């Protein structure tokens, strides 16, 4: 499936925004008095960070090919 450069750039921008929010969430949860209480939420957020990081890498590779 072919995507335009603009659509890829917008998708990357949205993912970067979500990654920022997820990282802030992890920092907040880990900074709580009892972070082990939030272990499953922290794990889920970290897995999402990894998945979105992979998506960004693939988008960047696609953008390089378009240039």
Q: Per-residue pLDDT tens for 35-58? A: 999 999 999 999 999 999 999 999
Q: How many domains does the chain have?
A: 1
- The domain in which residue 33 lies consists of 5-66
Task: Supply the DSSP symbol for 18.
Answer: H
Are residues 20 and 67 in contact, defined by beta-carbon separation less than 8 angstroms?
Answer: no
Q: What is the pLDDT of residue 67?
A: 87
Mean residue pLDDT across the chain: 97
* Average pLDDT value for residue range 6-15: 98
Q: For the purposes of burial, counting CB atoms within 10 Å of the CB of 26, is it exposed (0-12), middle (13-18) or buried (19 or more)?
A: buried
Task: Please compute the mean of the pLDDT values over residues 5-22 and round it to a whole number.
Answer: 98
């Amino acid at each position: 499936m072919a995507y335009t450069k603009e659509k890829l750039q917008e998708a990357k921008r949205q993912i970067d925004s979500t990654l920022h929010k997820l990282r802030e969430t992890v920092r907040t949860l880990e900074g709580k008095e009892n972070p082990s209480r939030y272990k499953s939420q922290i794990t889920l957020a970290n897995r999402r960070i990894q998945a979105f990081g992979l998506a960004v890498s693939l988008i960047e590779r696609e953008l390089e090919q378009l240039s």
